[in-house]
Structures are given as structure tokens and as C-alpha cells.
Structure 1
Amino acid sequence: MNEIIEKIKNKVPFELKNKKRSRIWSLRVIVSKLYYSLDYENEPQATRQKVTQLLLYHGQFSKEEIDNTFQAAASETTDYSIEFLKQHPEVAQTAALKSKEFPEEGEGERIKEIKYNLPRYG
């Protein structure tokens, strides 16, 4: 992991086969390693932005390629992150109303957060 980060900081290209499939797989591994090394549980969107900025600074992958990698791993959830609750205080309030004291409150359609389920590599 440290080697990948050093290459990104120093703008050193990764050795990739020229095949499209190999490039996509390599990017997926790099994005996954970077994403899980940061505060992804509490700040999934900010983490995505950090990873995207790092890789764009590095210059070997396009924004479209990086976005496609994240979009392929995106999923909707109501298991909210701290980042999401700070951006949507009404959701936190609704969750509080659904407590044992007011179980009938807060029913209905729940807003969903996008998180990323990237594969984990050893």
C-alpha cells in the first residue's frame, strides 16, 4: 500500500498491461486499497473525493474511469454515515423519533445514502 501511495505522490506511473480489462482491474484494486485506507465508514463521499483527487493528480487514470469504478461499487443504504447525518439533520431527527418512546413516528419512505462496496484485496 505504501508503495502505491508513494507512486501517486511522486506521479510515477504504475506498470499496466495495455489490455482494457487489465487496466480496469488494476484501477479497481488501487481505488479499493486507497478507499479502505481512509475514513470511508464515517465519510464515504469525502473519501471518494480524496481518492479521486489523488488519482487525478497522479494522472494515469481519467475522471471517467475513476467515476465508473465507484459507480460499479455504489449501493443505497439506510445505514447512515456520520457525514450523511451531518448533511441531512432531518434524517437524524427522524431516527430519534423512531426510538422506543415514539415507535409510530418516522414511518414512511426513508432517504438512502450511497456507499461503496469495493472488493477487498489482501
Structure 2
Amino acid sequence: MVQKIKQKSPFELKDNERSRSWSLRVIISKLFYSLDYENEPQATREKVTQLLLYHGQFSREEIDKTFQSSAKETTNYSREFLKQHPEIAMYEAGRNKEFPEEDEEQEGERPKEIRYIFPHYG
């Protein structure tokens, strides 16, 4: 797939909007999961976006819409998020492991990270 992007070979799509958006979702999913998505979800999103914009078959708006439809807020932080928010990293390191139910009470107050969840395609 990356070779197809580098060569700017068009992806074969049916001539309807639903097929186009589904195909883009599959392409993004495959690219996203082939990169360091667990540790760097935002950097991975940016890399996938740049690859697809370079390829030229899809617009930024289409790409952004696909990512937004797969966005999920979580407190299961990535390394990338913790590097950008050292105060959260310190909090996470110091959480009381003896009383995890106290952490659950504070769950609603904690900042949320945006992660992307795509189906896996073979």
C-alpha cells in the first residue's frame, strides 16, 4: 500500500460516496496499524494524513472526517500524550496502587486523550 502511495497509483474505488468513504477507512486503518499508533496516535494520524495528501486521491476534509469518526476519548494514555503532559505522567507514576477504587472516583476529572479505533482489515 505504501508503494502505491509513493508511486501515486490511484486506489480502485467504485463511483459512489459510500464506497469511497469505506475504501478510505480501510486504507487509513491499514496504514495506521502499520505505524506506531499505540505509542504515538497523533503523530501517526499526521503521518497517515501526509501520506494520503501526498498521494492526492483524498482531500484533507475526507481524511479528517474518517479520523474523527473513529476518535475515542480515554484515560489510557499513550507515551506521546504523557510526554506532552508531564504533570499527568507524574500523577500516573504516583497513583496509589493499594486503593484503586479511589482512582476510579477521580476518573471523570482526569484529562482525556484522543485515540483512534479502526476495524482491522486483512
TM-score, normalised via structure 1 length:
0.90
Runs of 4+ displaced beyond 2 Å: 99-105
The 1-side partners of 2:90 and 2:47 are apart by 29
Residue type at the aligned position of 1:112: K
Distance in 1, Cα, partners of 2:97 & 2:34:
37
Shift, 1:99, TM fit: 2.8
Give the C-alpha shift of residue 93 in structure 1: 1.0
TM-score by length of 2: 0.90
Q: Which residue of 2 aligns with 1:113?
A: 113
Residue 16 (1) aligns with residue 13 (2): yes
Aligned-pair identity (%):
72
Number of equivalences: 118
| Structure 1 segment 1-122 matched on structure 2, within 5 A | 4-100=1-97, 108=106, 109-122=109-122
Q: Once superposed, what is the RMSD of the aligned Cα atoms?
A: 1.7
SS at match of 2:19: helix
Give unmatched runs, 5+ long, in structure 2.
none
What CA distance in whole angstroms lies between the structure 1 residues aligned with 2:110 and 2:4?
A: 42
| Residues 32-86 of structure 1: CA deviation (Å, up to 9, x unaligned) | 0000000000000000000000000000000000000000000000000000000
Please state which structure has a larger fraction of its residues in helix: 2
Stretches of structure 1 lacking an aligned partner (at least 5 in a row): none
